[in-house]
Amino acid sequence: MKSARGTHFIKDQYPDLLKDESSLSGGNCQTAAWPVNIAESVEYVQECSEDNVPLTISGARTGIAGGAVPMGGAVLSTDQLKGIVPTSVANIIRVQAGETLDSIQDYCKAEKPDLFYPPDPTETTASIGGTVATDASGAASYRFGSTRNWVNRLKIVLPSGTVITVKRGEYKFNKGKLKHPCLGLLDLPRLNKPQPVKNAAGLHVVPDMDLIDLFIGSEGKLGLILEADLILARKPHSVTSFAVFCTEDQFWELREDLINSDLPLRELEVIAAPSLSFLSRNTEKTFPDHGNWVLFTSIDVSSEEELDITLETLEMLLEEQGISSDNTWGGFDDLEIKRLKEFRHLLPETVNRIISGLSSENNRIHKISTDTAVDPDLLRQYYGTMKSILEQTGVEHVVFGHSGQGHLHANLIPKNTDQLERSEKAVELIAAEAVKLGGTVSAEHGTGKLKAPLLRLMYSRQELDEMDRLVKEISSC
């Protein structure tokens, strides 16, 4: 097993191991290992447990909440845990933790061309271990839900070094309690109110849920995910995508029309003002002059006849809002759809690039963003409050996200320490407003190190203590 020791040696030879997309500074560790199989992974976890050394799990490091950034102790990288194999069930594949979303789709194209893996987080180089650990989602979760819906089995090494396999349907909680041959008697935290539908803040808690769902989204607190059996879906006849350039009022009206339509929407996204002007200044892209908002949608189509109906319906909805087809970019084949997807992802990628440069000049600067969500029916009201808070900071910012799920990302770009502090306060105010409306402080990226303090806005001290209690109980198994 490849390993490295020494804080300065690791920092010099493996600097990428000490950071992720959050640009959080201060990462360091004393030891690191790159196991290539389950046995080596278990061995390293057991060593850390016996020596009482804190262990950070490092996947593809695409996270933006600082979860993969070690602050001392040891690091286990899943980079070398590779392998994808079929199972006895045609639409389920077994995937090692270090495989990426890209590699899974490549496997499907080669081995199972009629199937695909639906979860669609923005960063396709994300590792499967990381996406399961954070219950990652993305644009397509409007139709398909989060990663949780597509995991049938997990192999996990607990913090003690014990290996368990958890298969969906084998063990279920009954009114918050479950007896497991290895884990013993588990008692879920008692929450004052149900968690939001789309939520990645804290442990997943539903009184009668499946045991596997406790581990999905637990951000590594309950163990290292070694492999996952993933469920594949049948590909639609085709997918067609659109980017509609519009005014703010047109966006909200068109969004409502699409939600209420019979169209099989895969995603319903937004880029809000002043994001297009931001992209114009920081990239070489040009955009239609009509409006400073963009509505993205992708629609699954089952036949050529349904495609015709889809196009006719969309054209009618655009005409009702006074939007010309000249202000709409359409994607009807794989290449066009890829270009539209790249355009949608260009905004967060540009923000990350700028933040990375600012961080190199001032190591206190890091990614400042929201991952909050509210009931979709309350999104327009929530956006109004978010906009007011952002404008009061005086800090450059952009807003985009998953409008169909009431889920917006506000990204702030602080240029100095004073702006950083104002940005952090704004994120807290925005998160508090989401909780006030019954939403979450983190809907898809987890809390990591950067957003962990926001948990106190969403849960009581007693609820957080009960989550910590369950983590400790499982860690000692």
C-alpha distances (whole Å) from 233 to each of 35, 90, 114, 296 are 31, 10, 8, 23
Measured over the CA atoms of residue 440, residue 296, residue 290 and residue 414, the dihedral's sign is positive
Of 297, 283, 425, nearest to 351 by C-alpha is 283
* CB atoms inside a 10 Å sphere around CB 88: 5
* CB atoms inside a 10 Å sphere around CB 475: 14
Domains of the chain: residue spans and CATH: 2-77 (3.30.43.10), 84-234+468-475 (3.30.465.10), 238-448 (3.40.462.10)
List Cβ neighbours of 290 (8 Å cut-off, separation of 6 or more): 245, 246, 247, 323, 324, 326, 327
Strand partners, 293: 246
Whole-number percent of the chain with pLDDT over 90? 83
Q: Angle, to 10 degrees, between the axis of helix 248-260 and the axis of helix 304-320?
A: 140
pLDDT tens profile 7-32: 999 999 999 999 988 878 889 999 99
Parallel, antiparallel, or unpaired: how do β-strands 74-77 and 84-86 relate? unpaired
- Amino acid 66: pLDDT: 86
- Amino acid 46: pLDDT: 94
Estimate to the nearest angstrom the gap between the alpha carbon of 444 and the chain centroid: 4
Positions of E strands within 102-173: 115-116, 151-157, 163-167
pLDDT bracket for residue 276 (50, 70, 90): very high
pLDDT tens profile 386-439: 999 999 999 999 999 999 999 999 999 999 999 999 999 999 999 999 999 999
pTM of the predicted protein model: 0.92
List Cβ neighbours of 326 (8 Å cut-off, separation of 6 or more): 288, 290
- Amino acid 52: pLDDT: 93
d(CA 28, CA 30): 7
Q: Tokens representing 399?
A: 């807003």
Mean pLDDT (whole number) for 315-324: 92
Longest Cα separation, the chain: 67
